[in-house]
Amino acid sequence: MFKKLFTQKQSQLEDGELAVTGTVPSHIAIIMDGNGRWATKRALPRIAGHHEGMKTVRKITRYANDLGVKVLTLYAFSTENWSRPKKEVEFLMRLPEEFLGTYLPELIEQNVRVQTMGDFASLPEHTQRAVQKAVDSTRENTGLILNFALNYGSRAEILHAVKAITQAVNDGKLSPSDITEQCITEHLMTRDLIEPDLLIRTSGEVRLSNFMLWQLAYTEFWFTDVLWPDFDENCLREAIQVYQTRSRRYGGLEEPTK
């Protein structure tokens, strides 16, 4: 029932019909799922699906930027993904180098600013170098923020925030009465970002998988059976159109029609 309520089928749109009217979500977060299944369906190694998914990242980033989306957060690698086969993890840790090495000039030209959230220090050095170069090269850009959740887990993020707040109380910098929702928000990795308006998950899975649990409290969800390598501008356009039909009341009552 939950899946039926929130899952939308991909519509077939004609080329050139990608304009979106109405309010566009300021922050879109995407759980990019289904790369491995995409490859398996084609009798290809799983890494081929991840490589194809990288092309989708480029395509969706460009389209989101064209639409005026302010923040695009992509769940690229979770803290749980380390349990995958060693060769697959090693390939995933090389993908940022390939993606950013290939598309960084395009991101700069499009005024996109790259940033990350997650346990950056635990990533391999070669991954850190590639990501840091992209962050430094785009630091002054003022367009879309392309935020990669890399080695990220929401529970670890919240735990880190709680420890930081506890230390601040122990040091006398905060009192217990200062600990509010806003205080917690300011200690999260997304402290400088607006909270997501729309969450998209591909591949037919209907769960959050330890992704932005605090930040998604009032986010609109949209799930699709489309695998991430097959996700395109038409899919994003449809997700936004569904989002535009939702009434976001934040726990209150919908205003009566005048």
Catalytic residue positions, numbered:
33, 81
To the nearest 10°, the Cα dihedral for 100, 103, 109, 114? -30
Burial class of residue 87, CB neighbours in 10 A (0-12, 13-18, 19+): exposed
Amino acid at 120: F
Residue position matching structure tokens 């097959």: 230
Give all strands (DSSP E) within 183-257, no chain letters: 198-201, 220-223
Amino acid at 78: S
Name which of 81, 76, 82 is nearest 114 in CA terms: 76
Cα(48)–Cα(50) distance, rounded to whole angstroms?
Answer: 5
Answer yes or no: are the C-beta atoms of 109 and 138 closer than 8 Å: no
Residue 226 CB neighbours (<10 A): 22
Answer yes or no: are the C-beta atoms of 226 and 10 closer than 8 Å: yes
The secondary structure element, H or E, covering residue 132 is helix 125-137
Answer yes or no: are the C-beta atoms of 203 and 33 closer than 8 Å: yes
The secondary structure element, H or E, covering residue 200 is strand 198-201
